[in-house]
Amino acid sequence: MTVLFALVAQSLRRVRKFLLAAGVLLAGFQVVLILQANSIQASSSFAQMGNLVPSFAREVLGPSFVAFLTFKGIVCLGYFHPVVMGALISVSLTLATIPVMEIETGFIDLVLARPVARHWIVTRSILVALISTVYLLAMMAIGTWIGLNYYAAKDAGWPSAGLIGSLAVNLGLLMLCWSAITLAIGCACRRRGSAGAISGLLALAAYLTDYIGRAWKPAESVAWLSPFRYYTPFELVMGSALSAKSLYVLGGIAVGAFALAYLLYSRRDISH
């Protein structure tokens, strides 16, 4: 356990500035969104905004469109805005490619030349992914809390803590899912650049598959393949409970990919 603790501490120490900056930016983004929502609310412009949206977009979004164009909807947007999702997935990809980077730079040679089992390296990466995910989501929740308590009217129609929690849990599982997929890809690659590029393209393709699947009926038949399909912010904003199926699927992908990462890392040659 001392070894694992040393490995986790060393990895977190290396990425602390990056994580700190990402956390502050994401928290700040939540505050900015709340300021914006408050401003729209104060000027009673939600109805005007709704009229500006083209009818096909309303059709695509369905009833969630109404829920989205509220104070609560804008606040929750901070948990599924493409910029936020892009940033979180990028952080996941960056952290999950650390093992392949350590192989590429030769750093891991001096670790594995000691009595350190290979599975500790993967376990370390899983723990770093977990800690980072929890930290970033906590920072977002803190941003939301600060924004609501300091910059929003009390009667603006705040989202409930349960809704924010559900969004965070669902988003957190999505992040872990991509961490696991990237970790498995990294364990099969020799270069961090290759692992990052493959994972990034895969995430983009999956995001677009889900996006197109939501807007275009024929594409729906393949959209279930995308992990993003199981992140359901609109349904949550609409008042649905967090879907157990979504959690199981995302959790299942994460567990499966982490298991694959263990297998690949234990069998591979450590050569740079």
Partner 1 sequence: MLSGSAAISIRGLTKCYGKLIAVDRLDLEVSRGEVFGFLGLNGAGKTTTIRILLDLLRPTSGSAAVFGHDCQSDSLKARSAVGYLPGEMGIYSDSTGHEMLSFWERVGGRIVSSEHRRNLIERFELSDRDLSRKLREYSTGMKRKLGLIQAFQADPLLLILDEPTESLDPLMQESFYELLADARNRGRTVFMSSHVLPEVERVCDRIAVLAKGKVVLLSSVEGARKLASRRVRVTFQQETSVPAHLPQGYEMIDVKPRTWILRVTGQLGSLPSFLAALPVADLAVEEARLEDVLVKYYRDGAE
Site residues for partner 1 per CB under 8 A: 2-3, 6-7, 10, 14, 102, 105-117, 267, 269-272
Instruction: Give least dist CB 103 to partner 1, A.
Output: 9
**Span between the terminal Cα atoms of the chain, in Å:** 28
Nearer to partner 1, 95 or 250 (CB): 95
Instruction: Give least dist CB 128 to partner 1, A.
Output: 15
Nearer to partner 1, 59 or 109 (CB): 109
Instruction: Give least dist CB 165 to partner 1, A.
Output: 36
Cβ neighbours, 10 Å, residue 2: 6
Burial class (CB in 10 A: 0-12, 13-18, 19+), 216: exposed
The one-letter code for the residue type at 151 is: Y
Q: Are 227 and 206 in contact (CB under 8 A)?
A: yes
Q: Are 136 and 25 in contact (CB under 8 A)?
A: no
Nearer to partner 1, 101 or 238 (CB): 101
In b/e form, how buried is each residue of 145-173, taking b as 16+ CB within 10 angstroms?
bebbeeebeeebebbeeebbebbbbbbbb
Nearer to partner 1, 112 or 127 (CB): 112
CA 260, 266, 267, 272 dihedral sign is: positive
Instruction: Give least dist CB 271 to partner 1, A.
Output: 6
Instruction: Give least dist CB 182 to partner 1, A.
Output: 21
The one-letter code for the residue type at 31 is: V
Nearer to partner 1, 15 or 131 (CB): 15
In angstroms, rounded to a whole number, what is the distance separating the alpha carbons of residues 66 and 155?
19
Instruction: Give least dist CB 110 to partner 1, A.
Output: 6
Nearer to partner 1, 45 or 105 (CB): 105
Strand, coil or helix: 270 = coil
In angstroms, rounded to a whole number, what is the distance separating the alpha carbons of residues 92 and 176?
7
Nearer to partner 1, 14 or 58 (CB): 14
Instruction: Give least dist CB 248 to partner 1, A.
Output: 36
In angstroms, rounded to a whole number, what is the distance separating the alpha carbons of residues 131 and 133?
6
Instruction: Give least dist CB 190 to partner 1, A.
Output: 12
The one-letter code for the residue type at 52 is: L
Nearer to partner 1, 9 or 225 (CB): 9
